[in-house]
A and B are shown apart, each in its own frame.
Chain A
Amino acid sequence: MGYKIYINGIGSISAQEEDLFSRGSATIYRENIFPAISPNYKEFIKPMALRRMSKAIKMGVTSAKIALKEAKVEVPGAIITGTGEGCKQDTEKFLENLLDLDEKLLTPTSFIQSTHNTIGGQIALNLGCKNYNVTYTQNSVSLETALLDAQMQFNENPEIGSILAGGVDEISEKITSFQKLDGQLKLNPIKNLDLLREDSTGTITSEGAHFFVLSKEKKENTYAEFQSVSIKNVIKPETIINEIENFLAKNNLNSTAIDAVILGKNGDNRYDYFYKNLQRKLLKNKPQLAYKHLVGDFDTASGYAVFVAAKILKTSKIPAILKLNNVDCKIPKHILIYNQYLGRDHSLMLLSAV
């Protein structure tokens, strides 16, 4: 790979306001399922198009447009979307209609919009973009798979100047509550900021959309360099350190070069031990950060980690609310992101300052 990939624009919609970095304080929730904070979608999407869209589509289209505007890109060379569970709200509507109307007289809208690739399709329609458009559904490595494909697209197609890649997931009344039945969510409601102090099973969940404009060209407003992403569906806890050392070595780095690590800790005492070796050994003396106590855990929540890493690298500021330890770093150069869910679908991402 003889080129670098830069993050030139970011659109972030989550359960936290986008100005967390300047405000310093976080929005507090006392439920285990909480919604993303909606911007005024009418500023981004025409009312006649908006009326049919579920929240995932609204969040996806809006965050994509914010990212493109920031990067000053009108039509990207590719649109690559990751979504773990797709458009659940329309899926529920469609299935409820199917039951209520005894499998007859089904209305088309919710069916059409229930498919996972609706988000990428609606972004393309909105932009008039007829370029490469793919959606990946790979549980909690859906966003990472989209980013991996973006890297490959840059590699294989020298004509592509910029790619819009991101991840979207929404909550829905019924399907999200199945996670509770499955033991993926905490039994009793907790305060989100207490998540990482909890010693119980399950986590808290929410929704969000994060789109990134990746480009081979560094600009004035570039956030960071997107160095690499690695995905492994299964890793033994005792080999995590090895995996990370190998990943860093492939990027010509070692652990001493890492200035901060962002961990996908989600307060589930059955699986958070995957992060322990890393915290106690390899990156013991590095700033350790977490984010799921702010935005909940969902399949593409790691988009918030990429957003946070890019912001830290651009501003050299680490909000106290993200910190898991008291180690400080004045000017972070390399940030490692490690995430897993239910002990599966491990991902590593590396971002560097420009």
Chain B
Amino acid sequence: MTNLHTELKESIIEQLNLEDMEPADISNDEPLFGDGLGLDSIDALELIVLLEKDYGIKLTDPAQGKEIFVSINQMAQFIEENRTK
């Protein structure tokens, strides 16, 4: 697990107020929405803001979120490829 994976998990826990949860509780390939972590559409908006604020990535097409926010692995890969900060 890279530093980015851990950093992402910590940000998600803080930003989405996932109380009683530790980074180790989220596996890298676990689905973030639906049956996995159980995030919802408001969380998706929070994640879009998180990408722009922390990594300088602006999603122009909200539909992209569906592909990016699949799992921590997917998010980390997208950030590595597109980050501006």
Contact = CB atoms under 8 A, between A and B. Distances in A.
Interface string A40-61: 0000000110111000000000
B45 A51 contact: no
Interface string B29-40: 000000000101
A107 interface: yes
Contact of B53 (A51, A52, A101, A109): A101
A101 B54 CA distance: 12
A50 B17 CA distance: 9
Contacts, number: 27
A107 B38 contact: no
Contacts of A109: 42, 46
A108 B17 contact: no
B45 A52 contact: no
A327 interface: no
Top 10 A-B residue pairs of the complex, sorted by shortest distance between their CB atoms: A51-B17, A108-B45, A105-B53, A107-B49, A105-B49, A107-B46, A51-B19, A48-B38, A105-B52, A109-B42
A107 B15 contact: yes
Interface of A: 47-48, 50-52, 101, 105-109, 112
Nearest to B17: A51
Nearest to A53: B17
A44 to B, nearest CB: 15
A50 B38 CA distance: 13
Interface string B41-53: 0100110010011
27 contacts: A47-B19, A47-B20, A48-B38, A48-B40, A50-B19, A51-B16, A51-B17, A51-B18, A51-B19, A52-B17, A52-B42, A101-B53, A105-B49, A105-B52, A105-B53, A106-B49, A107-B15, A107-B45, A107-B46, A107-B49, A108-B42, A108-B45, A108-B46, A108-B49, A109-B42, A109-B46, A112-B42
Nearest to A112: B42
Q: Which of B15, B46, B49 has the most CB of A within 10 A?
A: B49
Interface of B: 15-20, 38, 40, 42, 45-46, 49, 52-53
Contacts of A105: 49, 52-53
B23 to A, nearest CB: 16
Contacts of B46: 107-109
Nearest to A106: B49
A158 to B, nearest CB: 39
Contacts of B19: 47, 50-51
B83 to A, nearest CB: 16
Given A105-B53, A107-B45, 14 more contacts: A47-B19, A47-B20, A48-B38, A48-B40, A50-B19, A51-B16, A51-B18, A52-B17, A52-B42, A101-B53, A107-B46, A107-B49, A108-B45, A108-B49
Contacts of B45: 107-108
A252 B8 CA distance: 67
Contacts of B17: 51-52
Contacts of B42: 52, 108-109, 112
A109 B50 CA distance: 13
Q: Which of A50, A51, A101 has the most CB of B within 10 A?
A: A51
Contacts of A52: 17, 42
Q: Which of A47, A50, A107 has the most CB of B within 10 A?
A: A107
Contacts of B40: 48
B36 to A, nearest CB: 12
Contacts of B16: 51
Nearest to B53: A105
A47 B42 CA distance: 16
